[in-house]
Chains A and B, each alone.
Chain A
Amino acid sequence: MLRYIVRRLIQLVVVMFVLSLLLFLWLRSLPGGPDSAICGERCTPDQRVAMRHALGMDQPIWVQYFKYMGRVFTGNFGYSSGVEPGTPAIEVFLHRLPATIELTIGALIFAIVLGIPLGYFAARRKGGIFDNLGIISSLVGIAIPVFFLAYLLKFVFAVKLGWLPDSGRQSTDLAQPATRVTGFFVLDGLITREWDASWDAFRHLILPSIALGTIPFAVIFRITRSSVIDVQNEDYVRTAEAKGLTTQVIRRRHILRNAMLPVVTVTGLQVGALLAGAVLTETVFAYPGLGQATAIAFQLRDFAVLQVLVLASAATYTLVNLVVDLSYALIDPRIRTR
């Protein structure tokens, strides 16, 4: 097991390395190179030379690459030019990270807490009304574009009904300003016992989480349903029945556990979709996370920030994959004991 984890971590390093190389090449291939990308169109030749020197672009390419890697390792990606001008890109990333993690967790909880039980019940009553309703809503959930759903939710529940806030992470008119501890606002409120701040942050999370979590929900629902249906017909479930075990034990121990294997994989894959969905959701809800930063950075050609975001999302993706594989191994001894 330990060897397995180590092997996966090495893989992760290799992936990150390849990615940084690609990123380096991408930066060099920007129209006119990074110098003009940073300098802008109205750059005098003198400024450009100075910029090229500052960027080290007058040095051989391999030197540039090593310097670049050095910067990557020290987290020195330069300064943001568009998202939060003048702030180091890595800081822009770091202080927005908790917001996006909070949102992603919210979306995943929404998707899992709804998707797995509903998928399970739909499978138990396969062909029933509930099953059909579930299938239809999951189809709608997959088909509906994220930004449209986000707008719809915002319009109905925030604008029209006014039940929930329509943007941001926390209201600005709290009785007393919230204390920041971890950057996770819901958690901060719980730690500092500022219940209203925590509750307010939670309310801000609801609509974006639903918007972002709908596709994963639909996917998890469907995979749970089909997986439970498959497992129900497995020989070992019949063996469990033949042993006279109680329905409870059969469901929990023999059906659910096996049925979770594909669900774990698919849930992991959904994290990729979440990263993409976060850009749209955060934009619609003016939610100050990495998705919003990505959108702005693209718009304003903030390459310093973009660089960090690309590397970070790749790292997230590989890390999530690792977590998925580990939990898979935890459930399935056939992998663990290999």
Chain B
Amino acid sequence: MPLLEVEDLGVEFRRRGLEPFRAVDGVSFDVDPGQTVGLVGESGCGKSVTSLAIMRLLMPRGNRVTGRVSFDGTDLLRLPIRDMRDRRGRDLAMIFQDPLSSLNPVISIGLQVTEVLQRHRGMKQSAARAEARDLLDQVGIPDPDRRLKEYPHQLSGGMRQRALIAMAVACRPRLLIADEPTTALDVTIQAQILQLLGTLVRENGTALIMITHDLGVVAGLCDEVNVLYGGRIVERANRHELFATPQHPYTHGLLASIPRLDAPAGERLHPVQGSVSDNIPWTSACAFAPRCGNEVDRCRSASPELTAAPLGHGHQLRCFNPVLPDGAGVGATGGSAPVDSAGEAL
């Protein structure tokens, strides 16, 4: 049985005088115990909102959350907020993107770690202190005794993220959500932090939702990958299949934008052209159509569903005209030639 089942999750922001905005639209995915699941997509596609909705950390006003988030059989969205507070930090924990702003600048690292232990594990001050020391040690912070007394501004970026990770794993949560935990860090530090996360979840058997815009991160860490676009999942596959046979034009775009070491010097990266602001609503079209190289007539008149992909097992796709490799039998390669039958073939 999955540890976390997200079913038809929707988040709509409502502001006075503005059209309601669906930032997350019918997102469903499962996370098994100990499994690492990626949520991938560019800025603004709804990754953070999804994770905040799961944790129920969205501001109480100005939005409406629908669907089900069942954690170990309990629907978190319908849990009294008190009970939810009991679970946050204990059963499910979260790491954020910007370690500096995510740490309280006027409170010592020590207190920021021990407060979780005292809250959820009922530890006394001294026991919590000793445990906090061990935690910092575990996440690879040298000289933990000194660091406990220091404040966030006295730590380096990587060290801060390690401290945040220590706080998140302090109570051995069964699910950890990491929202772009490495974007704010130097490249070398990024690799270290990812490695640390990988080790921690493996050793503790923690399930991990890894949120990133970087498919490189996915390649190193995730078992399952969900590609998000405009608040919907557009492609889902296990890591191996996603990289072997990506079929959504957007995923292709993301893959093409990964910097490659073997690329000739001076070659430019190929980010997906256009930006999220070009989106059209999903209601009766494919939101990606304005940016898609594979667009066909239907893309503007009907909304594609998430269905089994032409290639692979358990591979799912939301596209009328997927990009298929040469000789795959169903259609042409990505690019100009539209294949009308592709949609029906699904």
Taking Cβ atoms with an 8 Å cutoff, the residues of A that contact B are 234-236, 238-247, 249, 253-254, 257-258, 261, 331-334, 337
Contact = CB atoms under 8 A, between A and B. Distances in A.
Interface residues of B, number: 32
Most chain B beta-carbon neighbours within 10 Å: one of A239, A245, A333: A239
Nearest to A231: B104
Nearest to B101: A235
Given A234-B101, A238-B96, A249-B119, A244 B106 contact: no
Given A243-B89, A244-B88, A247-B85, 7 more contacts: A240-B104, A242-B94, A245-B85, A245-B89, A254-B104, A334-B153, A337-B151
Contact of A333 (B90, B96, B106): B106
Contacts of A242: 55, 57, 88-89, 93-94, 96, 168
**Chain A binding surface SS class:** helix
Contacts, number: 84
Contacts of A236: 101-105
Contact of A244 (B119, B154, B164): B119
Given A236-B105, A257-B106, A332-B105, A244 B87 contact: yes
A83 B314 CA distance: 94
A258 B96 contact: no
A203 to B, nearest CB: 40
Given A244-B88, A244-B90, A239 B119 contact: no
Contacts of B93: 242-243
Given A242-B55, A246-B85, A258 B119 contact: no
B86 interface: yes
A249 B115 contact: yes
B98 interface: yes
A174 B75 CA distance: 71
Interface of B: 55, 57, 85-90, 93-94, 96, 98, 101-108, 111, 115-116, 119-120, 150-151, 153-154, 164, 167-168
Nearest to A333: B151
Contacts of A333: 105-106, 108, 151, 153
B40 to A, nearest CB: 22
B95 to A, nearest CB: 9
5 nearest A-B residue pairs (beta carbon): A244-B88, A244-B89, A243-B89, A235-B101, A333-B151
Contacts of A235: 96, 98, 101-102
A227 to B, nearest CB: 13
A238 B119 contact: no
